[in-house]
A and B are shown apart, each in its own frame.
Chain A
Amino acid sequence: MRTHSLPRAAAALLAALLCAFSGAAPVSAATMAAPLGTTVLQSLDTEFGPTRAPRLFTAACGQGEELLSGGWAGFSPFVEVLGSYPSDEQGRPVAPGGRPSAWTVAAYNRGKDVLQLQVTAACLAGSDGQPAVAAATDTRADQAFALAVACPDGTVRTGGGFRSEWTPQLGGATVHGSFPSGDTDWTLDVRLTPGDPDVKARATVTAYAVCLAGPKARAETVPVDLGLDKAEPVCTGGGDIFAPKCVVPRSGTASALCPAGLTLTGGGYQLLEGDLPGDTAVLVATPLDPVARRGWTVAVRGDAPTDAPITVRLSAVCVFAAERPVLDTGPPIVTLPNPTGPSRPLLVALVGLGGLLLLLLVALALWRMLRRDRGEPAAGVGVEVVVRSGRSGYRLDGFREDL
């Protein structure tokens, strides 16, 4: 649990006091390009064994950093990613309008071995921007559908993600595309994956966009089209009667780089041509390019039924600071009371009161930080599960007896 409100309140109070003392106006008409901040990549490297339910892995931003986006590197087609979304430090999805502090990946290990997974959170340091989550959830029974969510006006879309719910009976969905679209939207291309064959498949999917408010900034997307390579077909089976079953191994990796001066905040991938070689073919979609450090990287690998062209478009989301008003040394717009106004003792009393309040806020913030470090909140949590009602019985409509 992170608390930024107290330091911010203290800073605002301090700024107001300084402003009052100096007599300077906070804003003027002059402008300059302000630095947006620095992207810091926080990653979680983990290993996990075969699972029957999705497991959550979370990479959290550091103190004073704000979440921009995130991604994963699964390295194996047996890692099925059901969600890659903005969350809190515990992996809980952030409600629309909420402030994310981490990036979580929900993944199955469909294989029989221990597999690796790297989760990366792209965080912004040294900025006064505040991210908020925009989310749209839909439950659909269509075989394929798109779902989009938009950032509100006055914010900058820095990244996005998805979360798909899966049940053995209803099945779920695989996301074949998760990408920025237009200036403000984040769009998902979703395919249904059936569960119980006797039940009509249905999928509940949530699209997320991370929207940064505060700094004057603009975003642009840098697309790179990746045509998947094809290897020699691999055939199995076959004989005098049956034809062999053949697949064409397909693979490709590419990075989309932001131009110099622009900050990478996130990215996505979109199928432009053909079909993905398998529902788990996107092995890597991460801002943590091990070489360039400023590129959005996507790796695709899988077996396709044919050697038809498959093209995936990577889109890096790059943000740059726009012009913004700055402090001016010109004539003040807001002036302190002049010496002919209220008496000097009153002014001193007001400033003293403000200082005292500032000290109290700092002390309260320190106390809360110390409490958090000692882990007291977690130790004090009481979870009870109370039985409200219960009934048991037999379903006579299912009765069958044969003598």
Chain B
Amino acid sequence: MTTVRELLFGDVVGGRAGEAADRVEQAAEQLVGVGALPAADEAPALTVARAFMTRVAQLLDVEVSDVLVGAWRTRSALLDAARRTHAAPGTSEQVVIKAYALPWEYETELDLVVNGRTLTTVTVLAQAELEVTALVATVAAGRLARLGGGDCRMTARLRVRGADPQADVQVAQGERTFAVPYEVKTGERGIPLIEQARDVPAQAPAPQAQTRTPA
């Protein structure tokens, strides 16, 4: 499954050998180039920047499917359908969404510690723009039971902000388009979209299921 890290730095498996490491290195060089991290007498700037960017890359091992499902759980027609089908056991709904967008942000503060001394605190901001088109989904018992189609274009950016307001630099950017059913696996039990449906398996859609179609 694709992660935000792979979106920003390239595929570790399946990509060109060393591509991801190269892009992390480039980001580190960029941080050094613009002086975004303070100088440490004990260690070369690039060594510190490399360690920093490697840790940031680890933190971004977030699957894009989790980001996508999290968005639907926050606000979507799928969420509304989940509430309805959970309230009326045995029903299911087919939801067709022409277009859907909800930006996601991940912000973290990292202490940069060299030889036990905290040099500075740096803020890292990852942003992803989700754009889903032509999504066909079946919702039953509050769960996403099946995905019949849909494409998602995800654009991600990574910014690093130091203590100095001027030291705000974008160090990575990536974009990828993928088929939603390929990334989001519903499995046999489906994916709960509301809290109450977590322990209830989705039921097979009944033949006479209520269907919502585009207005």
The interface of chain A, by Cβ under 8 A from chain B, is 1, 51-56, 82-83, 90-93, 95, 106, 139, 163, 165-169, 204, 377-378, 380-396, 398-403
Contact = CB atoms under 8 A, between A and B. Distances in A.
A53 B111 CA distance: 24
Name which of A51, A377, A384, A386 has the most chain B CB atoms within 10 A of its CB.
Answer: A384
Contacts of B129: 398
A381 B43 contact: yes
A395 B115 CA distance: 38
Contact residues of A: prevailing secondary structure: strand
Interface stretch (B23-31, B142-150, B188-196, B199-207): B23-31
Interface stretch (B12-20, B85-93, B99-107): B99-107
B4 to A, nearest CB: 10
6 contacts: A55-B29, A166-B34, A385-B52, A394-B105, A396-B74, A400-B99
A390 B111 CA distance: 12
B45 A90 contact: yes
A112 to B, nearest CB: 16
Nearest to A395: B103
Contacts of A399: 75, 101-102
Interface residues of B, number: 62
Interface in B19-58: 26-27, 29-30, 32-35, 39, 41-48, 51-52, 55-56
A394 B55 CA distance: 23
B210 interface: no
B30 A403 contact: no
B108 interface: yes
Name which of B56, B59, B166 has the most chain A CB atoms within 10 A of its CB.
Answer: B166
B113 A383 contact: yes
B179 interface: no
B155 interface: no
Contact of A394 (B74, B99, B166, B170): B74
Given A385-B51, A392-B105, A56 B43 contact: no
Contacts of B215: 403
A106 B45 CA distance: 14
B166 A204 contact: yes
B61 to A, nearest CB: 13
Contacts of B62: 392
Contacts of B56: 385
Given A54-B33, A90-B44, A381-B42, A168 B170 contact: yes
B15 to A, nearest CB: 16
A83 B34 CA distance: 10
Nearest to B26: A53
A402 B112 CA distance: 44
Interface of B: 26-27, 29-30, 32-35, 39, 41-48, 51-52, 55-56, 59, 62, 70-71, 74-77, 95-116, 121, 129, 166, 168-171, 173, 212, 214-215
A399 B106 CA distance: 17
Contacts of A1: 41
A165 B35 contact: yes
Contacts of B212: 403
Contact residues of B: prevailing secondary structure: mixed
Name which of B27, B35, B48, B56 has the most chain A CB atoms within 10 A of its CB.
Answer: B35
A386 B114 CA distance: 11
A389 B166 contact: no
B81 to A, nearest CB: 11
Contact of A82 (B33, B52, B99, B121): B33
Contacts of A385: 51-52, 55-56, 110-113
Contact of B110 (A381, A382, A387, A391): A387
Contacts of B108: 387-391
A165 B168 CA distance: 10
B29 A389 contact: no
B97 to A, nearest CB: 6
B33 A402 contact: no
Contacts of B173: 168
A394 B70 contact: yes
Given A82-B33, A387-B110, A390-B107, A402 B99 contact: yes
B47 A381 contact: yes
Contacts of B109: 387-390
Nearest to B112: A385
A382 B116 contact: yes
Name which of A382, A393, A401 has the most chain B CB atoms within 10 A of its CB.
Answer: A401
Given A381-B115, A390-B109, A403 B77 contact: yes
A402 B35 CA distance: 44
Given A381-B43, A385-B55, A392 B107 contact: yes
Contact of A383 (B47, B77, B102, B168): B47
A167 B114 contact: no
Contacts of A163: 35
Nearest to B100: A401
B146 to A, nearest CB: 18
Contacts of A377: 42
